[in-house]
Amino acid sequence: SSLRKVPFYNEFCKERFDRCMDLYLAPRARKMRLTIQPEDLVPQLPRPQDLQPFPTVCSITYKGHKNMIRSISVEPLGQYFASGSDDGTLKIWEIQTGRCLKTFEIGGVIKCVAWCPNKALSLVAVAVDTKVLLINTGVGDKLINDQTTEILSEEPDNSGYVPPVRLAQAGKWM
């Protein structure tokens, strides 16, 4: 009952010796140290031409105003937009084609244009000098235009409302 009774592998000593010789004579792999320059840590930035967030191709040009445009406003449905200019005109444009559908002569420098957010009305508010004008654009659905005309044709009932003196002089229903 000793290790002498365990069967012996004939080539054991030779293989063990060859393994030790292989490890001894094998070429050592040298670990290369990394030398990192601080400039290599900074990422390469793209060219400014590649970073342009705006379109570089002009698709549609809207021509018609003779002076500087101060304000634009897009219709809630996105089919038309209104533009107001220093030349005293309000223009209604079709967005897809770039056509000017209507031009309104306002007679003063237009400071601001705002389309009514209610989709059931075709109404544009225009700030001119010290006045605010409500204009039916007359574009789009005929039913919506008729409804807008009906609303604008009658003066609102303000019975019982007494505006402050400053507002009474500034706002008049025309």
Task: Tell me the torsion sign for CA atoms 37, 42, 46, 47.
Answer: negative
**pLDDT per residue as tens digits for the range 50-90:** 777 776 777 788 899 999 999 999 999 999 999 999 999 99
pLDDT band at 107, cuts 50/70/90? confident
In the chain, the percentage of residues whose pLDDT exceeds 70 is: 88
**pLDDT per residue as tens digits for the range 108-141:** 899 999 999 988 889 999 999 888 899 999 998 8
Q: What is the 3-state secondary structure (H, E, C) of 11-77?
A: CHHHHHHHHHHHHHHCCCCCCCCCCCCHHHHCCCCCCHHHHCCCCCCCCCCCCCCCCCEEEEEECCC
pLDDT over threshold 70, residue 169: no
State pTM to two decimals. 0.60
pLDDT over threshold 90, residue 24: no
pLDDT over threshold 70, residue 174: no
pLDDT band at 172, cuts 50/70/90? low
| Phi-psi sector, 131: left (phi>0), alpha (psi -120 to 50), beta | beta
Mean pLDDT of the chain: 84
| Contacts of the segment 106-114: beta carbons below 8 A, 24+ positions apart | 106/133, 109/70, 110/70, 110/71, 110/84, 110/85, 110/86, 111/70, 111/71, 111/84, 112/70, 112/71, 112/84, 113/71, 113/72, 113/73, 113/82, 113/83, 113/84, 114/71, 114/73
